[in-house]
Structure 1
């Protein structure tokens, strides 16, 4: 990984550092090392609930995390904490303003999962465009021998599915994942438009299309943007109405809170959308009690809805990247040479 100088090495660090890994269930840990003369003790937890964070980090100098929520209140009980390093790209579970106010450096693993997430997004597109879930349901119900054919299960509004060369993909969020999705779908023959920021239609950068125009032009919309105050429920009722293609497919590999799940379900039920495929949910871990998309009635309804349990990131290369970046972040924090793109606070 390319490194660049950040504002100097960490000062006033004790020679012996207490490192606490709060949740190793997702990625595990590589063998930890620190630059000399620093030594360390390491406490590892497989899982940590938010109400356990303060107690487990009360004596920590460094925390290693994935997705556990760390609030400003929890940080108040952690007077020694100097670094939170996330083994994942997303840091929306961390109170970044509170970390900054307390002088806690936050580093992430930006870009660790770009290939995996982009490839998963393309897989979700094919599953939704080809209506694989409704077709599988009818197969399991034994309808093929009863009816002689169930090809209608792959039709949208009575029409056969588009080929890749007939697709226009609008990409919402053009970071590492968005750029990789763009390259993959272009290689498949699809046209690509990159959506500008919503609300900034008058100042769209070169190479991008105003947000609403991108939605109107798209036969596929891929959501790749991070969850932030300005992207919460970024896509809801008005945005689904703006997707003019009757067979339009939505793919969300960003964060669940970017798409209004209730509005998405209505758009599918009313035929406003041709299909949807989501890997992320507003509340995770997700289940029928927390997401309308996972209600038993929805699963049995034959809707063209593909769901996966936030596994787009999962790949051997992602894990290798995460472990390498974790060690780089630990060493970089101590020496003051950090990758700027990974600095979140």
Structure 2
């Protein structure tokens, strides 16, 4: 659901004393909470909450502070007092926004807090993948350098040495805050960067390249778009077939469901692409039982696959930004002075 375009006024009908429940502080912690006078509050803090615990923990809450816990419409039925859900993160795909709106629950998020961290992580994944650091590290640990006298073949792709920065053409899929920051960083390194248009559109807005055309010209594809119904499995078998550069590397710092993991594994195994750097997974927390990218067979296969456990967002500045936006959202909800781009329901 897109952000509201109306300008809501101050919250009405709120009790002067508010019950605030923070459902999961394990990821971001909390700043010291304040509310505008004359409002007072009680704060209940949980380090972790499972989805089946949400209804019980929010049954008397006026305000919920969340990160990624799933809150279902069924759980909301048990929360008659709930007026605000404020996410300390940008993503709200764990919330049923239409159900929240139907029940009069305002949903606010915290966009842009992690732009620098995610963009920098994407660049790190690019270098690790392009230079095939994982396969060469594995061969070092196996003691193959002394045995074979050289293992430079571990960094070759189809018999060719890695591209240098000025030889790269990057297609960025998702040109929001993170995509733009990735573009700035990669251009500064000397790479050619294009922003891909939307999938399914035969033409792209000015300044962008049609989706399939961008894939066809790219030697690097960076996925930065949010997960939504129209971006689920945005990159799958047909898209990997549209990539023409056999040494192309794909970097995903968006959401796991945007890239079809089975199709990605097949593309790596068939040599349709030269490597992948992945920070996000379709099912999280991810492991061998939930992701084909994390099996023991894949780890031992020597594929050029770099994986990190959804840590691209993590940085000192990210946490500071998240805490600042949380306080702004709490105060803005009560006073009516909410940033329109943060209103999700």
Shorter-chain TM-score bucket reads over 0.9
8 Å CA contact 1:129, 1:162 repeated in 2? yes
Deviations 1:101-159 (A, max 9, x none): 11111111100000000000000000000000000000000000111111110000000
Write the deviation string for residues 26-57 of structure 1: whole angstroms up to 9, x where unpaired: 01000000000000000000000000000000
1:32-111 alignment, distance < 5 Å: 32-111=33-112
**1: CA distance, partners of 2:8 / 2:330:** 15
Secondary structure of residue in 2 paired with 1:201 = coil
**CA drift at 1:304:** 0.1
Question: Contact (CA 8 Å) 1:6, 1:339: kept in 2 or not?
Answer: no
Q: How do 1:1-345 and structure 2 match up within 5 A? A: 6-202=7-203, 204-345=204-345
> Deviation digits for residues 175-214 of structure 1, max 9, x if unmatched?
1000000000000000011111111223x21101110000
Deviation digits for residues 232-263 of structure 1, max 9, x if unmatched?
00000000000000100000000000000000
Kept after mapping to 2: 8 A contact 1:96/1:344? yes
Does the CA contact (< 8 Å) of 1:5 and 1:337 recur in 2? no
Normalised by the length of structure 2, the TM-score is: 0.98
> Using the alignment, how far apart are the partners of 1:101 and 1:205 within structure 2?
34
The alpha carbon displacement at 1:6 in A equals 3.2
Give the RMSD, CA atoms, in angstroms.
Answer: 0.9
- Match of 1:170, SS state, is strand
Query: Following TM superposition, by how much is the alpha carbon of 1:64 offset from its aligned partner in structure 2, in angstroms?
Result: 0.2
Cα distance, 1:5 vs structure 2: 9.1
- Native 8 Å contact 1:124 1:277 kept in 2: yes
In the alignment, the residues of structure 1 paired with residue 249 and residue 6 of structure 2 have an alpha-carbon distance, to the nearest angstrom, of: 43
CA distance, structure 1, for counterparts of residue 254 and residue 268 of structure 2: 19
Give secondary structure in 2 for the equivalent of 1:280.
coil
Taking the aligned partners of 1:226 and 1:300, their CA distance within structure 2 comes to 31
SS at match of 2:98: helix
Check whether the contact 1:9–1:336 (CA below 8 A) recurs between aligned residues.
yes
Aligned to 1:160, what secondary structure does the other structure show?
coil
> Deviating runs (4+, > 4 A) in structure 1?
none
In 2, Cα distance between equivalents of 1:113 and 1:230: 23
Partners of 1:294 and 1:303 lie apart in 2 by 12
